C-alpha cells in the first residue's frame, strides 16, 4: 500500500485586473490566506431602501493583487489629501 499526499492548492484572482496566484502546498499561516503583498479592500456600509430604512449589508470587498493594491493606495491617499486641504 502506498499513500500519496496531494497538497491543497488555492487559486487567487484579483477582482480588478484578473491577475492570478496559485498557492500550492501551503501550510500553517499561509493556508488559505491571501498571497504575500496582496490586499483585501473592504468598505463596510449599510444598504438602504427607497424610504431610507436600513435593509441589507452593503459591504464591498475586493481582493487586490500587488499592482492594483499600489494603485488603490495612491488614489485613496491622493483623494484624502485633497479633501483634508479643503
Average pLDDT over residues 72-81: 96
Task: Give the chain's mean pLDDT.
Answer: 86
Q: How confident is the model at residue 1 (pLDDT cuts 50, 70, 90)?
A: low
Give the C-alpha separation, 36 to 49, whole Å.
Answer: 39
Average pLDDT over residues 60-66: 95
The CA-atom distances, in angstroms, between 55 and each of 40, 43, 44 are: 25, 17, 14
Give the C-alpha separation, 35 to 66, whole Å.
Answer: 9
Average pLDDT over residues 43-69: 95
Q: What is the pTM of this model?
A: 0.77
For the ranges 2-6, 20-24, 41-45, the lowest mean pLDDT is seen at 2-6
Amino acid at each position: 500500500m502506498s499513500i500519496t499526499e496531494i497538497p491543497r492548492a488555492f487559486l487567487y484572482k484579483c477582482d480588478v485586473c484578473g491577475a492570478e496566484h496559485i498557492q500550492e502546498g501551503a501550510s500553517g499561516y499561509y493556508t488559505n490566506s491571501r498571497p504575500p503583498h496582496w490586499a483585501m479592500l473592504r468598505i463596510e456600509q449599510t444598504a438602504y431602501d427607497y424610504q431610507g430604512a436600513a435593509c441589507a449589508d452593503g459591504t464591498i470587498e475586493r481582493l487586490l493583487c500587488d499592482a492594483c493594491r499600489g494603485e488603490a493606495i495612491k488614489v485613496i491617499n491622493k483623494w484624502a489629501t485633497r479633501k483634508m486641504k479643503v
